Structure 1
């Protein structure tokens, strides 16, 4: 069975907040001596995600 993909659209401010939150989570995991690879993968995906401009129409 094929894996379901989800897309998340965020603006530049939300992207910055997301990256800061992930780095803070990684730092907490390091202090606890826990595994950080999943968070590292998310940081990599968010920072390297393509930027797509969307037109938002108010209804």
Structure 2
């Protein structure tokens, strides 16, 4: 089945806020003892776009 791809445009400041939110979410998951692998991958992908 065909999957649609969406492209979102955001500024540097938006990207910075998204990453900060993901880091807070990761910390929340850690405090619950849950896995953070998916969040880690997303943070890394977004961080690479900042450079």
Fold conserved between structures, TM > 0.5? yes
Q: Which of the pair has the greater relative contact order for Cα pairs under 8 Å at 6+ separation?
A: 2
Q: TM-score, structure 1 length as denominator?
A: 0.72
8 Å contact kept, 2:12–2:50 = no
Q: Quote the residue 2:34 is aligned against.
A: 34
| CA deviation map 1:3-41 (0-9, x unaligned) | 432212110111110010000000000000001011011
Q: Secondary structure at the match of 1:45?
A: helix
Q: Structure 1's 32 and 41: CA in aligned 2 closer, same or farther, altered over 3 A?
A: same
Q: More helix per residue: 1 or 2?
A: 2
Number of residue pairs the alignment of both structures matches: 51
Q: TM-score, structure 2 length as denominator?
A: 0.82
Structure 2 unmatched runs, 5+: none
